[in-house]
Amino acid sequence: MANYPTKRLRRLRYNPLLRDMVRETELSKNDFIYPLFVVPGEKVKNPVKSMPGVFQLSVDELVKECKEVESLGIPAVILFGIPEHKDEQGSEAYDPNGIIQKAVRAIKSEVKNLLVITDVCLCEYTSHGHCGLLNGEEILNDETVELLVIESLSHVEAGADIVAPSDMMDGRIAAIRKAFDEKGFNKTPIISYAAKFSSGYYGPFRDAAESTPAFGDRRSHQMDIANSLEALREVEEDIEEGADIVMVKPAGPYLDIIRQVKDKFGMPTAAYQVSGEYAMIKAASQNGWIDEERVMLESLIAIKRAGADMFLTYFAKDAAKWIDKNKK
C-alpha cells in the first residue's frame, strides 16, 4: 500500500455514528414482499414443517395475516394457492371461484393499504404437479400459455394489483400483456419471474405449496443453474414482451445474476429469497450454530447490495420488526 500511512480506511469505522453515515446499503420496508400460502377451509393455520414460522392459511386466517402485514408497514404480499381439487389441466387455477380468486377478493375488501400480487402458474393445481399441460411427459408451451392468460385475467378480475408469472414458458409475458390491454387492465403491471433457475433450494416450498412433480423435474423450462448469459437473454426477452419488473430466483446463490441484470437493463429488479435459503438460516439458528437475526439481515442486505430493488422473503415480518426497533 503505497499511500499508507496517510490513507487509513479504518478511520471511518471507529465511530458507530460515522459508520451509519457512510453505509451504502440500507434495508427498507418498501423493499419487502411477503409470500403467503392459502388453502381451502376455515380457521386453518397449518405450520409448514420445513419452514418454521410459515403457515398454510385458510382465507379467513389469511385476511388476519394480511392485516398484520399491513400494520407492520410491509407494502405487498404474493399469494400461492393450494386448491381443493387438482386435475390434469389445473382447472382451479383459472376458476373465478378458485382459492386464489376468493383470497384476493377477501383481502382487497378488508385490507386497504396492501398490494396483492398473485403467482401465476399451474403446478400447484395440476394432479401431476407440472407447470403446464402435458403431452406424455413433455410440457406443452403454447397451450400452457393460453391457460396462463386465462389464469392471469381471473386474478386481476378478482382484484389482484399485480400478477407474477412463474412458469418460465416462452412468450407468456407478451400473451398476458396483450390480454390485459384488450380487457381494460392496461394499468396492471407484470412482475416476470424472468431468470428462474432449476434449483434445489425450492425443496421446502414444495411442502408448503404441495406442488412436487409426480415424475421428472422442471429442467425443461427452468434455467440451468450454470448459465448467466442465458439468464440475461431470458430477462431481455421478458422486458421486450412487456414485463414491468423482472425477477431473479433464487436470490442468495445468484447474486451475480442480480447484479448483471441490474447493470445491463436498469429495470426495477426483484429477487426471491426462496424457501431453502430461509430454511437453512432457520435450521442452523435453531441448532445454535448461527445468530438468526444477524444472518437474516446479512442475507437481505447482500441481495439489495447486489442490485435488487425489492425482495420476496419469508423474513419480511421479522425484518420489518427489526427495522422498527433499530431505525432512528
Min dist. Cβ of residue 123 to Zn ion (A): 3
Min dist. Cβ of residue 82 to Zn ion (A): 13
130/304 with CB nearer Zn ion:
130
CA dihedral 79, 85, 87, 89 (to 10 degrees): -40
DSSP string, 100-128: HHHHHHHHHHH--S-EEEEEE-STTTBTT
195/297 with CB nearer Zn ion:
195
Strands 191-196 and 310-312, by their bridges, are: unpaired
123/296 with CB nearer Zn ion:
123
Catalytic residue among 102, 249, 282, 304: 249
Min dist. Cβ of residue 53 to Zn ion (A): 24
114/131 with CB nearer Zn ion:
131
Binding footprint of Zn ion on the chain (CB under 5 A): 121, 123, 131
Based on the residue annotation, tell me whether 196 is a catalytic residue of this protein.
yes
Residue 257 burial (CB < 10 Å; 0-12/13-18/19+)? buried
Based on the residue annotation, tell me whether 7 is a catalytic residue of this protein.
no
Catalytic residue among 196, 262, 282, 304: 196
Alpha helices in the chain (DSSP H): 16-22, 59-71, 99-110, 141-158, 172-182, 203-209, 229-241, 255-265, 275-286, 292-305, 316-326
Min dist. Cβ of residue 294 to Zn ion (A): 33
Catalytic residues: 196, 249
